[in-house]
Amino acid sequence: MAVKIRLARRGRKKAAQFDIVVADSRSPRDGRFIEKIGTYNPQTNPATINFDGDKAFDWIMKGAQPTDTVRAMLSYRGVLYRKHLQLGVIKGAISQETADQRFTEWKEQKDAKIEGKRTNLGNAKEEARQQRLAAETKVKEARAEALRQKQAAAEAAAAPAAEGETTEAEASADTTEEAGA
């Protein structure tokens, strides 16, 4: 029986989530499986990959073949590197302590890199929000200034007209007085 580690789809249309399962290669994609070892959500950035590394390592050591996508995930999380180190221990090239130390160092570096990416994405999102807010404020101020100029122009146009009307009224009164005198 050929055993594969692969993805089984779940979730609604256009919002897929996947289970990482160990299954017989002859069974359907979303059908019968031997064991569920984790989940994968490609909708987040970076993609969320949660699985039991020890179970995945055990299945890999037993000969289970991962699909290309799952192989990339296992490599990303260090399961394949751990297998590589364990094969070195089995052959006698390195000791178990050395292999564990190398894996721990690699894991710390990888976790720091992942956390750095999350931090950078968060900072970029916040910076973009600040830029949008600044642009919106600039547009708002420009509109307010244009409105002030329009009102000032309207008042300036209304003021001479009002002055001209009083002058005409005074002139009419003056002519009336002169005519009456």
Provide the strand spans (E) within the chain: 3-10, 17-24, 35-41, 48-51, 65-66
Nearest to 56 by CA among 40, 70, 42: 70
Q: How far apart are CA 36 and CA 31, in angstroms?
A: 12
Q: Which amino acid is at 112?
A: A
Confidence (pLDDT) at 179: 60
On the question of pLDDT at 18 being above 90, the answer is yes
Instruction: Quick: pLDDT tens for 24-66.
Output: 988 888 888 899 999 999 998 778 899 898 999 999 999 999 9
Other Cβ atoms less than 10 A from the Cβ of 100: the count is 14
- Residue 120 clears pLDDT 80, i.e. is over it: yes
**Chain centroid, CA 123 distance in Å:** 11
| Overall average pLDDT of the 141-168 stretch | 78
| Sole residue written with tokens 């009419």 | 172
Mean per-residue pLDDT, 166-176: 55
**41 - beta bridge partners?**
48
